[in-house]
Chains A and B, each alone.
Chain A
C-alpha cells in the first residue's frame, strides 16, 4: 500500500496537469485573454474617437452659422429644381431675357467598357436643366454672368445661339446643377 501511494500521487498530479491545467490555459483562458485584448483595443479606439469627436465639436462651433447656411445653399440636400427654375426665370427677367420650355434630364452616363460598370461613389448628384431664352445679347450676357455667380453652382454645359427673324437671339441652354445625395 505504501508503495502504491507515490504512484497514485504522481498519477493524480499528471491527471490534473494534462486533464485540467494545460487544456484550460491553452483553451478557455487563452480565448478570454484574446477577448480582453480586443476589448481593450476597442476601448482605446473609443477613447480616440471621443477625443476626435470633441475636437470636431469645438471646430464645428467655430464655423459661423451663416457660413453653414451658405454652404447648405451652395450644395443643398436635394435637387429642388422647381425652386431653381423659378429663381432662374426671375433672374432672366431681371436681365431682360425671356425663358421658356424647362426640361430636366439625367446626365448622360458614360458607356461601360467591355460591360464593366463602374459604381457611382460620388456623394454629389447632378441633373441637367435645359431651357430656351429670347432676348438681346446684352441681356444674355447679364443673365449668364449672374447665373455663374449665383450662390448655387450652375454649369452651362451646352449652349446654342441663333439669330431669329425679329433681330433678337434665341438661346438654348443646358445647365448642370448639383446637390448632396
Chain B
C-alpha cells in the first residue's frame, strides 16, 4: 500500500544541503595538480632530450675521431704492396698453368717420324682460344712410307685431324706431301718447374739456360 507524500519515511533528520561547493573546489584542485605534474614531466623530458642530444653528439664526435685515427694508422703502401703481391701470385699461377712448351711436341714428333720420312718446313700457330694448328711439308721415300707415317700420326691421339694433302710422286719415286693437323693442348702444356734460384745467374741473364739433350732432325 503506497504512503501519502506528507507522511515522513524516517525519523532521522535530513542533512543540510551544503556539499556542492566543497566538491567543486576539490576537483579543480586535482585538475590543477595533474596539469602541473604533466607540465613538469614535459619540462623534465625536454631537458632530458636536450642532454641526451648533447651526449650523443659527444659520442659521435669521439667515434669520428677514433675512426680518423684508425684510418691514419693504415699504411697505404703496405696495403698496395699486399695487393700487388696477391696479383703477382695469382697471375704467376695462371701463367704457369697456361705456359706453353713446344719441346714436348717436338719430342713426340721426333718419335713419330719414320726414318723414311723427312720434313722440310713446319708452321705452328697457337691461337688465343687454345687451338694449335700445325702444317708440315715433307718427303717420303715411297707411298708405303707415307702410309706408314700416316698410320703413326693416327695412333697419336694428341695430334688430331691429321690430313695429308698435296701428295705428288716424283720421277725418283720420292713422294712429297703436306700435312695439316690440330695439336691437343696437353701436348704443348708445360709440366716442368722454373730453375731454382741458385741455378740463376742473375748477373748475366734473366733467361738461364738449362742442360738439354739435343735430338736429331726429324
Contacts and interface: CB of A to CB of B under 8 A. Distances in A.
- Top-4 shortest CB links A-B: A6-B35, A13-B42, A39-B63, A138-B214
Interface residues of A, number: 87
A46 interface: yes
Nearest to A39: B63
A180 B95 CA distance: 11
Given A2-B28, A3-B28, A16 B126 contact: no
B174 to A, nearest CB: 15
Given A3-B28, A6-B31, A146-B207, A159 B124 contact: yes
Given A57-B78, A70-B197, A144 B34 contact: no
Interface residues on B, range: 35 or more
Contacts of A71: 88-89, 92
A141 B194 contact: no
A94 B39 CA distance: 101
A91 B209 contact: yes
Given A32-B57, A40-B63, A145-B103, A123 B87 contact: yes
Interface in A31-58: 32-33, 35-36, 39-40, 42-43, 46-47, 49-50, 53, 56-57
Contacts of B43: 12-13, 16
A58 B101 CA distance: 37
Interface in B19-78: 28, 31-32, 34-36, 38-39, 41-43, 45-46, 49-50, 52-53, 56-57, 59-60, 63-64, 66-67, 70-71, 73-75, 78
Given A17-B45, A180-B84, A150 B52 contact: no
Interface string A90-125: 110011000000000001101000000000001110
Nearest to B57: A32
